[in-house]
Amino acid sequence: MKKDKEEPLNKNSVQQVRTLSTHIAPERDVTLNYLLYLPPGYDPQGSERWPLVLFLHGASMRGNDINLVKRQGLSKLVNQGQEFPFILVSPQCPSSQWWTWPQLSATLSKLLDEVESKYAVDPERMYVTGLSMGGYGTWSLAIAYPQRFAAIVPTSGPAEDLDRISAIRHLPVWAFHGNPDAIVPLQGTVETVNALKACGGNVKLTIYPGVGHNAADPAYADPELYRWLLSQRRQSEAGNLLSGNAKA
């Protein structure tokens, strides 16, 4: 598919600010600010397709100052100089909203559509991860669009809708949580993981003792997470690969 003309990144900024302007039903125009990171070696004129990771921040980073997003998770690591072999998209949730809301899930899907149309994205290697509110949002977005992603990595946040968890039973999941966690208790993630296992899901859970609500930092610092994540390719609900081979 022919790509729309790419907007060049500012060489003085590793993560460039972008704004999505779109329309979602019913009759609603929305905007969403986001940060875009392109990996070293990315060539808009080349033939290589790159994995894409969508990062969803926690509740304290909501608002209209996109630079807040650089204080957490993968966006923070890039801001500190870390390089990744994937396209990173880090949107900012508007004030007083929540990543799990259906209209935000729809907006995030539109955002991925836009990035796919403008950049050299490998559609078989698209992933979503998030922390706290973003952990909740990671589960919700995957459940809403179960055929979109190759794998998900929720940290410090469970799924809100366990009745629909079977929609992602084909999807590799690596969840992380701290114990004890006084803000979002571990039990919610344990219940989510057990519900997914009960319907045949491909899920594993890592529990970090003594980190409280900050499981994202050790998770995102673990090179094994990225090896595992980038080895996953999109599957159908029946578990058949759409492209390549998946590894648990």
Q: Residue 27: which pLDDT band, with cuts at 50, 70 and 90?
A: low
Average pLDDT, the chain: 91
Banded pLDDT at 235 (limits 50, 70, 90) = confident
Residue 213 neighbours by CB distance under 10 Å:
19
State the Rg of the chain over Cα: 17
* Phi, psi dihedrals of residue 41, rounded to the nearest 5°: 90, -5
Residue 247 confidence (pLDDT) above 70: no
- d(CA 19, CA 34) in angstroms, rounded, equals 6
Domain 15-230 in CATH: superfamily?
Alpha/Beta hydrolase fold, catalytic domain (3.40.50.1820)
Are 87 and 53 spatial neighbours (Cβ–Cβ below 8 Å)?
yes
- Residue 217 pLDDT class (50, 70, 90 cuts): very high
Q: What are phi and psi of 174, to 5 degrees?
A: -125, 110
Who has greater pLDDT, 238 or 143? 143
Nearest-10 Cα torsion for 7, 112, 37, 153: 180
Residue 123 CA from chain centroid, whole number: 14
- Quickly tell me which residue has 């598919």 as its tokens: 1
Rounded Cα distance between 199 and 171, Å, is 12
Q: Mean pLDDT lowest for which of 7-21, 26-40, 160-174, 207-221? A: 7-21
Q: Using N-to-C axis directions, what is the helix angle for 133-144 and 102-118, rounded to 10°?
A: 80
- Does residue 239 register a pLDDT over 80? no
- List the chain domain ranges: 15-230
* d(C-alpha 213, C-alpha 58), whole Å: 11
Q: Kindly tell me the number of DSSP H helices and DSSP E strands found in the chain.
A: 6, 8
pTM of the model: 0.91
